[in-house]
Structure 1
Amino acid sequence: MTKRAPLVEGIDYGLDVSADGTTVWVHGADGSNIGRFSKRFGIDVHRTLTAQMAGAGQCLHCTHAPAGPAQWEEFRTQMKAHHHVDVPADVVSWP
């Protein structure tokens, strides 16, 4: 699944989901990866590459441990808080 849509005025993003439904990538308007959720590798919520090139740090909320449903909800919350991106709840598959 790939999604590119405006979320709020002036903000758009891309959403890619792995074929097996275990990993989600979120891309900012500048094309940079601003978020990744992986059942195996955890959560990464980053600043845009544009912000990083201007001197900001990379990580806003990152973990490096396997992730489950609670971490999925945390990822969704962090993406909304930091980037105003409402990641759909149903894009990750759970057994």
Structure 2
Amino acid sequence: MAKTPTAKSDAPKTGGIFAPITPSADLAAIVGADKLPRSEVISKVWAYIKQHDLQNPENKREIVADEKLKKIFGKDKVTMFEMNKHLAGHMKA
């Protein structure tokens, strides 16, 4: 007997990466001060990085911080894997 697939809910996602957060003042300088889902914060940070050409051209996984990002990362360079750890300290539920 085949199992019936469960129906997906049409309700908006609100937990985890979709939970709205308030950015710190330093992060708000990049993404704005409004409450945003974590997923949108990350998207806006990546848009900022690409707009300002902050990826190391020799190693695209490395982000070279400008003055705004140095306030968030606490150092001159981070990898894309480290970035989320540093962003987490600037997001308040």
TM over 0.5: no
Larger Rg belongs to: 2
Q: Determine which structure has the larger helix proportion and give its number.
A: 2
Q: Determine which structure has the larger strand proportion and give its number.
A: 1
Higher relative contact order (CA 8 A, sep 6+): 2
- TM-score where L is the length of structure 1: 0.30
